[in-house]
Structure 1
Amino acid sequence: MINIKEYIAPESIEKAYEVLMSRSNNLILGGCGFIKLDCKSIDTAIDLCNLSLDYIIENEKEILIGADTSLRELEINNIIKNYCGGVISSGVSYIGGVQLRNMARVGASVFSRYGFSDLLPPLLVLEARVRLYRGGIINLKEFLDKEYERDILLEIILPKKEGVAVFDCLRKTSGDFSIINGAMFKGKDGDYKIAIGSRPERAKLAVKASEALKDGINIDRALDMAAKELDFGTNIRGSKEYREDMCRVLVKRMYDRVGDYCDR
């Protein structure tokens, strides 16, 4: 059960940060789609709805996604659907139902670093960056590897890239959490990026396997490299051994798909 003592919707990011830091039990609210996964008491719940962070803006070099943008908007927005094969739109389309995607927010999904997130693998292979109020702009990979620090995520920054990316996952039923998920990017220069998530830990890049594919290593060897360089665990959705085997399956399926795209 979640117990919220006070709710506020500040008119400025400075005020939101001030309230956040005033007590250890104060918390930024996202769409609250997964808040019932935990049991806690919140002194002050801080809603960012008045800070104009609901946007998707494209410029010559980047696509900017505000933290208060819904996952549903990522799914249907034409800028995102046309970006690198629509991998982000594809990834979030698996998350729950339309009602949940209308509630869930980009900032909460990324800042919470959920292990089961279907959004993190595509963002990782696309070399996304995050803009934090106090922490500034850092690579998503660095952000995920860092120890948790209290801050406010303002936006996601996607670099314009020439290439295509795909998302894939395994789940028991439509709308369920992924047993394992992943994304792969292939650039026009032959560069590869592979990320595997729901291990059941948060998504992580398979760096050695990615470099091996770029260097022309046989795909079968690359599959083994990806499965061995990443750590897998067991939970109620699947065993460590199953996830390790399915990692090979996902990487091969994604490899075949990006090859098809780039050959068109």
Structure 2
Amino acid sequence: MLKIKNYVKVKSIAEAYELNQKKTACVLGGMVWLKMGNRNISTAIDLSGLGLDTIQEFDDEFVIGCMTSLRTLETDERLQEYTHGAIKESLRHIVGVQFRNCATVGGSIYGRYGFSDVLTMFLAMDTWVELYDAGRIPLSEFVNIKKNNDILVNIIIKKESLFTCYLSQRNTKTDFPVLTCAVSLIGEEARTVIGARPGRAMIVEDTKGILKNFKKMTRKQREQAIRDFAEFAGQMVPVSGNMRGSAEYRALLARVLTKRAWETVGGMKNEY
């Protein structure tokens, strides 16, 4: 059972940050996961009055407020055009529309949940987080930082030349994913992200340079590089088993989804 002693709808991020320094305080977000746990909260901090539920587009970036709902992300035409539908694909399986109307992007990113489709997708882009105290840091760095009492204010997606694809495997349509995969070409950088391992999403470093100069490869070279990298990813990504799938199954999925996603980005097939 969730027990809240005091509820405060803050008037500024500074007020929220000050209140959140107590270990027993908590930022509410959309409360879709929080309410399912057993916890005593001394001060529940509500950010809903700060106007942080919008998506702003600028010449060089998108700025997404932490209180923006997953449904708003899913239906934003500008983001769908920029990601070629990948963001929508990463969100459409998450429980249902009612749930996505409540769940926030800030809660999904700050929570760094192992099962998070959202974290997998955002790691595949040039994404930064804006924290009240620490300022802007890359999401790829933030994902590995130990949780603290800072406040996540915005999520920033830098606008670069982007080709991306998102895939996931689920045992049933609205269940947690067995494995998630997002791949992208960010400018000249080839990036692969695997999540729900069942640990939190991680970037698979191409230490062998298999996908280097992917854009300049011939179709035959791409096909071979994709096969080689899919095998490499299956070997390099740490996986384990749980009630949704064994470690062996996840290792196989890592190979298969990586291959399919890169074939989509490489123009060999269309997953959407």
The normalised TM-score by structure 1 is 0.94
* Partner of residue 206, structure 2: 208
DSSP 3-state at the match of 1:218: helix
**Match status 1:244 vs 2:243:** no
CA contact (8 A) 1:194 1:210 kept: no
Question: Which of 175, 185, 194 is the matching residue for 1:196?
Answer: 194
| Residue 240 of structure 2 is aligned to residue 233 of structure 1 | yes
**Which residue identity is paired with 2:197?**
R
In the TM superposition, what whole-angstrom CA distance separates every residue of 1:103-156 from its partner, at most 9, and x where no partner exists? 000111000001100011111110200000011100001001111121110001
- Please give the root-mean-square deviation of Cα atoms over the aligned residues, in Å: 1.8
Unaligned 5+ runs, structure 1: none
SS at match of 1:242: helix
The answer to whether the 8 Å contact 1:209/1:226 transfers is: no
CA separation in 2, counterparts of 1:156 and 1:163? 18
Report the Cα distance in structure 1 between the residues aligned to 2:230 and 2:106, rounded to whole angstroms: 32
Q: What's the counterpart of residue 3 of structure 1?
A: 3
* Other structure's SS at 1:146 match: coil
Change (3 A) 1:210 1:162: farther
| Kept after mapping to 1: 8 A contact 2:160/2:187 | no
CA distance in 1, matches of 2:251, 2:227: 14
Aligned to 1:119, the other structure's residue is in SS state helix
Give runs of aligned pairs for residues 7-86 of structure 1, distance below 5 A.
7-21=7-21, 23-86=22-85
**Residues 64 and 148 of structure 1, relative CA distance in 2, 3 Å threshold:** same
**% same residue:** 37
TM-score with structure 2 setting the length = 0.91
User: Which consecutive segments of 4 or more residues in structure 1 shift more than 3 A?
Assistant: none
CA distance in 1, matches of 2:190, 2:37: 36
CA distance in 2, matches of 1:105, 1:143: 18
Whole-Å separation in 2 of the counterparts to 1:37 and 1:254: 34
Structure 2 residue runs of 5 or longer lacking an equivalent are 215-223
SS at match of 2:78: helix
Worse-superposed segment, 194-203 or 33-42: 33-42
User: Contact 2:114 / 2:200 at 8 angstroms: preserved in 1?
Assistant: yes
Output the CA distance in 2 between the equivalents of 1:108 and 1:122: 15
Q: Which amino acid aligns with 2:6?
A: E
Task: Report deviation, 1:80.
Answer: 1.1
Per mean C-alpha deviation after superposition, the further-off stretch among 226-235 and 33-42 is 33-42
Q: What does the per-residue CA deviation read over 1:1-24, in whole Å, with 9 as the maximum and x for residues that have no partner? A: 211111111111111111111x21
* 2:143 aligned with 1:136: no
Q: Is the 8 A contact 1:209 1:222 kept in 2?
A: no
Aligned to 2:263, which of 248, 256, 262? 256
Alpha-carbon shift at residue 37 of structure 1 (Å): 4.3
CA–CA separation in structure 1 for the residues paired with 2:208 and 2:148: 30
Partner of residue 110, structure 1: 109
The residue number in structure 1 matching 2:183 is: 184
Q: How far did 1:260 drift? A: 2.0
AA in 1 matched with 2:203? L
Q: May I ask how many residue pairs the two structures share in their alignment?
A: 261
The whole-number CA distance in structure 2 between the counterparts of 1:32 and 1:83 is 29
Give the drift of 1:32.
1.0
Q: CA deviation at 1:36?
A: 4.0
